[in-house]
Amino acid sequence: MHSLRQRTLVLHASGGVGPLAPRRILIGTRAGRLAVSAVICAALLLACSKSQPTSAPSRSSSMPSQSSTAADPLAAAIGNVLNSYTTLGNVRAIIVDVNGRPRFEHYYSSTAAESRSSYSVTKSVTSTLVGIAISEGRLRLDERLSQMLPRYAAEMTPSVARVTLRQLLTHTAGFTDTWNIQLGELVTSPDWVRFILKHQDYAPFHDFHYSDYGAHLLSPILVQATGQSVLAYARAKLFDPLGIVTRPASEPPFDEAHAPDYDRAGFAWPVDPQGFHTTAFFLKLRPRDMAAFGQLFLQNGRWNGRQVVPTAWVRQATTGQAGKSFPDYGSSAPGSAFNPTNYGYFWWVEPTSGVTAYYALGFGGQLIEVVPSLHLLIVVSSNVDETRPGAPVVGPDEVQHLVDAIVPIIKTHPTR
């Protein structure tokens, strides 16, 4: 990686798959783009670190007491996994809700009030806003990029102009695969949208290529379709109805100079040089905000008697849409626990313990897992040390080990 200066920002991967190696982008000089290079998703970073089981430092000081774990097999199982992988020392919150009620909720060297970057979980929020806009007749899945971004149409090649909204949401639009590359060039460019439109590296409509580039195009698309900023639309249609506190909000430029603003904020959503919010990554949320979003999907889009998101969209977005274009990710790595079988509209699809499940996944151990048949929601929020290049981060495998420990117990012990 090329360090432009000091601060290293690791961008989250919403679930991605990629080289099982952490993606980091060092952004420094030039406004080192706050998000570090969205490599976030890119490497699904996920694979980010596939730490081997080791005798990690005990988490007993931050874990429930021995008496409580003895009484609750779920707490004991979670504790065992946390103590088995060194990178899981970065986990700051685990929430397990069943039927909308807390089954397990614990904060490690943290509190419920603390927020952190959700990294690529941002993509799943973005997809939800797109689904709402479609239900309002503002967008169509088969609508082309030249129609959705008329201001840029003259600059598009015929192939780029034909890209559809559906292809952007399934990473089949052919834009640069950011799973294993740095995003420094993008985040330091003066106009992200123009830069992205010039980087369709693959023939569209066929293969799955995880792309933060394509995901960011949803920002200007939503602005064009709704006539307001992505945050304003998200507040009205999603955040306010769910009770997610977004005021005051930090909307810092994606650069190094404004990183302190982002760090201090309780709620933050950075913007690119044109003021478009980063719809691929870096939305800052509290663990319970993530839980509210996941619970909304578990309830088929309904919240307090109101249909916030169309039920049809919840089902479409969380059902495999990539088809044969979706590569066989996890199984390519021997012993991998992370084995998504398909991809919906910015949601990963992967059965767990024999039951259907889907999840939003972000770099460094950010997770919203939904298991409909068990009325189960799992949230994991983890710390990413942006100050130390090469610092260990929670990978997709470690997160999946937590899920694999939780689900079987909920099957037999849905309540304590």
Three-class SS of 263-332: HHCCCECCECCCCCECCCCCCEECHHHHHHHHHHHHCCCEECCEECCCHHHHHHHCCCCCHHHCCCCHHH
Q: Which amino acid is at 223?
A: V
Nearest to 2 by CA among 184, 177, 178: 184
Backbone torsions φ then ψ of 182, nearest 5 degrees: -80, 150
Closest CA to 89 of 116, 54, 51, 59: 59
For residue 53, the 8-state DSSP code is B
Long-range residue pairs from 67-73, CB within 8 A, at least 24 positions apart, any chain: 71/416, 72/104, 72/413, 72/416, 73/409, 73/413
- The residue length of the chain stands at 416
d(CA 415, CA 145): 48
pLDDT at 334: 63
Helix/strand number for the chain, H first, E second: 18, 13
Report yes or no: 20 and 47 within 8 Å, Cβ to Cβ.
Answer: yes
Cβ(364)–Cβ(44) under 8 Å? no
pLDDT at 388: 84
Query: What pLDDT score was predicted for residue 381?
Result: 98
Name residues of the chain where pLDDT drops below 70.
Answer: 1-70, 327-334
Q: Token pair of 69, please?
A: 């774990």
**Distance in angstroms (rounded) separating the CA atoms of residues 262 and 280:** 16
pTM greater than 0.75 = yes
**Residue 304 contacts residue 381 (beta carbons within 8 Å):** no
What is the model's pLDDT at position 416?
83
10 Å Cβ neighbour count for 59? 18
Q: Can you give the C-alpha Rg of the chain in angstroms?
A: 20
pLDDT in tens, 234-263: 999 999 999 999 999 999 999 989 999 999
Q: What is the structure's pLDDT at 204?
A: 87
In the chain the domains, ranked by start, together with CATH numbers, are 70-116+284-412 (3.40.710.10)
